[in-house]
Amino acid sequence: SVPPGVLPLCRQPPAWGRAARQCPSLLQPPDLQLAPRRAFSNNKILVELDESSGVATMKFKSPPVNSLSLEFLTEFCISLEKLENDRACRGVILTSAVPKIFSSGLDITEMCGKSTEHYAEFWRAVQETWLRLYSSNMVTVAVVNGSSPAGGCLLALSCDYRIMAENPKFSIGLNEAQLGIVAPFWFKDTFVNVVGHRIAERSLQLGSLHPAPEAREIGIVDELVPEEKLQEKAAAVMAQWLALPDHARQLTKSMMRKPVLDRLVAHREEDIQNFISFISKESIQKSLRRYMEMLKKKKG
């Protein structure tokens, strides 16, 4: 399904094939009947494809915070693959259907008190999600309509363009250091490619979460837009990118991103083993348990 000369997508683990067959299609919502749209959904993500523009919207709908669980990551890859294989689709907008949050990042419960087999399966799903999104042939636009720490930030960074709601209460960043964990090299590489080495180094060491105005200033996001105008702006940006011939844009994207992608592909199993070794340490498990307790108290 990938045109010659464009980055190949990594082979999909068998579990995703099984999950894909279980995903039910939804009938088109009544308010979308006027436009030539197709919608499909699973538990965590709603996808709407506007065939007239060739643009799909993937809305994260996994309350309370769109955490990146194994189920979410699996469904994300399935949805993205469906769009990649659909000739009617040339671009995709990622956004959230949950108020005030884009995505809170990796689901802590997937990394705490589980077996090494589970850690391996989970981390392979995290890798696959990034590999598919970062190498996508489609134009990818993130509409960050809420806070987006850690893995949520990575999803946005992996897109071609980032628009964030103009709200100083919303923040974004790779804040893993605050949790006592370390952002993997490919998170770091993606961040450096967007903001440059010095800003990335400082932000990663401090585990910084940048309020929207600061995120725009240092280049994590490309634009700030009032919340009510996010979709309008995303459509305008998408139209600008889609005005170019697909093959020229795709080959340029491949050329720019291939070294970073190749590095993970070459070290994928090693990266999984490093993750298992790190996350299994009692000191790390203790930090994660403490963080989960803190979250429970906040909810209480």
- Average pLDDT, stretch 165-185? 93
pLDDT of residue 289: 87
pLDDT of residue 21: 37
- Which pLDDT tens digit goes with each residue over 79-119? 999 999 999 999 999 999 999 999 999 999 999 889 999 99
- Average pLDDT, stretch 4-8? 41
Position with higher pLDDT, 295 vs 1: 295
CA 276 to CA 255: how far, in whole Å? 32
Q: How confident is the model at residue 260 (pLDDT cuts 50, 70, 90)?
A: very high
User: Taking a C-beta distance cutoff of 8 angstroms, is the pair 155, 133 a contact?
Assistant: yes
Mean pLDDT of the chain: 88
Two tokens at 169? Answer: 């209460």
pLDDT of residue 299: 67
For 59-99, give the DSSP string.
Answer: EE--TTTTEE-HHHHHHHHHHHHHHHT-TT--EEEEEESST
Nearest Cα to 254, choosing from 4, 1, 57? 4
Two tokens at 207? Answer: 């585990």
Q: How confident is the model at residue 179 (pLDDT cuts 50, 70, 90)?
A: confident
Position with higher pLDDT, 106 vs 298: 106
Residue 216 pLDDT > 90, yes or no? yes
Contacts 24+ apart (CB under 8 A), 206-211: 206/177, 207/173, 207/174, 207/175, 207/176, 207/177, 207/178, 207/179, 208/173, 208/175, 209/147, 209/149, 209/171, 209/172, 209/173, 209/175, 210/171, 210/172, 210/173, 211/168, 211/169, 211/170, 211/171
Pairing of strands 146-149, 171-173: parallel
- Average pLDDT, stretch 127-155? 97
Q: For the chain, where are the E strands, in sequence order?
A: 37-41, 45-50, 55-60, 67-68, 91-96, 100-101, 105-106, 139-144, 146-149, 161-165, 171-173, 210-211, 223-225
Catalytic residue numbers read 106, 151, 175-176
- Which pLDDT tens digit goes with each residue over 15-70? 444 343 334 333 334 343 445 667 777 789 999 999 999 999 999 999 999 999 99
Domain spans in the chain, listed from the N-terminal domain onward: 37-299
Amino acid found at 26: L
Two tokens at 290? Answer: 């403490």
User: Which CATH superfamily includes the segment(s) 37-299?
Assistant: 2-enoyl-CoA Hydratase; Chain A, domain 1 (3.90.226.10)
Position with higher pLDDT, 22 vs 258: 258
Q: How confident is the model at residue 5 (pLDDT cuts 50, 70, 90)?
A: very low
pLDDT of residue 16: 40
Residue 8 pLDDT > 50, yes or no? no
pLDDT of residue 28: 38
Q: Which of 110-119, 148-157, 219-228, 281-290 has the lowest mean pLDDT?
A: 281-290
Residue 14 pLDDT > 50, yes or no? no
